[in-house]
Amino acid sequence: MPLAIELRGLTKLFGALIALDALSLSVERGEIFGLLGPNGSGKTTTVNIVSGLSKPSAGEALVFGYDITREPRAVRAMLGSVPQETALYEELSAWDNMVFHADLYNVPSRGRSERILHLLDLVQLTERKSSRVSTFSGGMKRRLALARALLHEPQLLYLDEPTLGVDVQSRKALWDYILGLKSQGKTVLITTNYLEEANALCDRLAILDRGKLVAMDTPDLLKRRYGDAVIDLELDPSPSDRLVKGLRALPGVNAVAKHDGHIQITATGQPALAAQVISLVTRDTTDGDAGAALRSISQREPNLDEIFLRLTGSGLRD
């Protein structure tokens, strides 16, 4: 059975600019797959190629076994899309938007109204079905765009920043819908700048930077690769270089970052590391006049922001 998405050596050039550089990745059927990357990393270009809006300069893109350049209409029939700007006709009602979409995607006339009502009910917009979309809030528009994308029962759903500009309640509701899609066997491709969202929704993540794939794995494995634990210390006054050197020498420590009175330690496979750190700091304090007092210490799991920053060298919103 073919994969939901298979990209092989996908390259896209805009003049001299390499937007995608031999990108290869695959998305399994029934998977929620996240594409992460700073602006200009190639996320949108990748999705534009997968949905047939843009042609690759080189390489192949297959969607459920169909080559997007040779059979674009077959691919588009299986793809439901929720673009970031929603692409709704704001001057028309929610109902008219749904009916127009049904015609565009050749949804059978029999049972069409019932299906539209069901989907509007799912996204809690039944009462506003006759209202113009221009009167909707950002969250309502997102929900309507999601309902519209599901109308023709696509096998692959693409969501571009699904909760951008959406309030907390709507975001939770949207997450629930998206997770519900997985249980229906749909494949979902998400691009997002919210790492919390990627963590909550995605089975696997691909991190892109400057058109290249820099990492691809489950959120848990990505975090583990970065380190099991992060220990944050606050010292007064600023810690000595000797202490930093000592911390770096502890077994399992991957990295020690010092910033003013703060130290951040990333480590792998050392459950008792916190005790060793406290011991070292205390000894440093008592050994000499230059020692610093420990104000606070905390241990936590690394977050995706830190992984992202480490892999790409930049924040998501750069």
Partner 1 sequence: MLYDLRVIRAVAIKDIRSALTERLFSSISIIVPLNFLLLFLLFVLTGGQAPTAIVMDDSGAYAQQFVSAMQGAHSFIIQQTTADEAQRLMAQGRIVAIVTVPADFDSALRDGRQVELPVLVNNLNVDYTNDIRRAVPLAITSFYAQAFPDQVVVQAMEDDVHSHDTDYIQYLSVSIVVISLLIGGLLQAGVSAAREYEAGTIKELLLAPASRWALEVGKLLGALALSVVSAAVVLGVVVLVLGVTPLYWSEVLGFTLLVMLTFIALGLLAGTLVRRRTSVIPLSIGISLPVFFISGAFGPVQWGTPALAVISQLQPVYYAIAVFQHAFHGFQTTPFSLSTNALVLAGFTVVIVLASATALRTRAMP
Give the interface with partner 1 as residue ranges (CB under 8 A). 14, 45, 48, 51-54, 73-74, 76-77, 79, 81, 83, 85-92, 96, 99-101, 103-106, 132
Report the C-alpha gap between 64 and 100 in whole angstroms. Answer: 26
Which amino acid appears at position 80 of this protein?
G
Give me the least distance between CB of 91 and partner 1, in Å please. Answer: 4
Nearer to partner 1, 106 or 169 (CB): 106
Sorted by sequence, the CB contacts under 8 Å of residue 109 that are 6+ apart come out as none
**Contacting residues for 249 by C-beta, under 8 A, at least 6 apart:** none
Would you say 85 or 301 has its CB closer to partner 1? 85
Task: State the alpha helices, DSSP H only, in 12-60.
Answer: 43-50
Complex with partner 1: residue 106 or 183, whichever CB lies closer: 106
Residues 6+ apart with CB under 8 A from 145: 82, 83, 86, 87, 88
Q: Which is nearer to partner 1, 158 or 194 (CB)?
A: 158
Determine phi and psi for 283, rounding to 5 degrees.
-65, -40
Minimum CB distance to partner 1 smaller for 98 or for 229:
98
Residue 131 or 276: the one with the smaller Cβ distance to partner 1 is 131
- C-alpha 98/C-alpha 153 separation (Å) is 13
Query: Which of residues 156 and 235 has its CB atom nearest to partner 1 in the complex?
Result: 156
Nearest-approach distance from CB 96 to partner 1, in angstroms: 7
Q: Is 230 exposed, middle or buried (0-12, 13-18, 19+ CB in 10 A)?
A: buried
Measuring CA to CA, which residue among 59, 51, 44 is closest to residue 75? 51
| Minimum CB distance to partner 1, residue 45 (Å) | 8
| Min separation Cβ 229 and partner 1, Å | 43
149, 83 Cβ separation under 8 angstroms: no
End-to-end CA distance of the chain: 39
Least distance CB 52 / partner 1 (angstroms): 8
**Nearer residue to partner 1 within complex by CB, 106 or 130:** 106
Contact between 270 and 227 under an 8 Å Cβ cutoff? The reply is: no
Q: Are 151 and 115 in contact (CB under 8 A)?
A: yes
Q: How far is the CB of 53 from partner 1 (least distance, A)?
A: 4
Q: Cβ of residue 72: shortest distance to partner 1, in angstroms?
A: 8
Place of tokens 């494949």: 187
CB of residue 93 to partner 1, shortest distance in Å: 9
Query: What's the rounded Cα separation, in Å, for the pair 28 and 309?
Result: 27
